[in-house]
Amino acid sequence: MIKVTFCGHRDAWGIDNLTPVVIAAIEKAAQGDKVQFLMGGNGAFDGFALRCGKAYKTAHPDATLLFVTPYLDPEYLARRNIEWSDFDGVVVPPIEGTPPKYAIRRRNEYMVDQADLVIAYVDRIRGGAYTTLCYAYKRSKAYCNLGSFVF
């Protein structure tokens, strides 16, 4: 099984035309193995990631989509407007004791640590998506950046 996660700017609108590129990258990495998606749920890119995961799962029903939450706070979960039926399960990473200000960053690091492939949309050198892609790069994770940023 391979694990795939995503990181991208929350304002990454109008990129649905990149879905075939994402599906091809995942299929190449999977080489017929089962795929497990580790997904966030904040912003336009995470919506795109979910659509890609669901499209992949349509063609590969054994794939699983997991929502990874930085908080168990019901208010946070309610604000995400998550359609729980889109996911096969929920993962709470072992980040207890992390101050709320850093919880999303630690959740993102957890997802990268678990992943075999990181699909990114990073086109500027600031923000959480950039920080997460740098973290993946430093950990020698395989990645595909759909944005214009190059290391």
Both tokens assigned to 121: 């949309």
- Residue 31, Cβ density class (10 Å: 0-12 exposed, 13-18 middle, ≥19 buried): exposed
15-73: pLDDT as tens digits: 999 999 999 999 999 999 999 999 998 889 999 999 999 999 999 999 999 999 998 88
How much is the average pLDDT of 6-23?
A: 95
DSSP H stretches of helix in 31-141: 44-59, 74-79, 100-114, 128-138
| Residue 151: pLDDT band with limits 50, 70, 90 | confident
96-138: pLDDT as tens digits: 899 999 999 999 999 999 999 999 999 999 999 999 999 999 9
Question: For position 49, what pLDDT does the model report?
Answer: 97
Q: Is residue 93 predicted with pLDDT exceeding 80? A: yes
Beta bridge partners of 142: 117
- Give the torsion through C-alpha atoms of 81, 25, 92, 114, to 10 deg: -160
- Residue 100, Cβ density class (10 Å: 0-12 exposed, 13-18 middle, ≥19 buried): exposed
Tokens 């994402």 belong to 22
Could you tell me the residue ranges of all domains in the chain?
2-145
Question: For position 42, what pLDDT does the model report?
Answer: 85
76-90: pLDDT as tens digits: 888 877 888 999 999
Architecture of the domain whose range is 2-145: 3-Layer(aba) Sandwich (3.40)
pTM: 0.95
Comparing C-alpha atoms, which of 150, 115, 91, 104 is closest to residue 25? 115
User: What is the largest distance, in Å, between two alpha-carbon atoms of the chain?
Assistant: 40
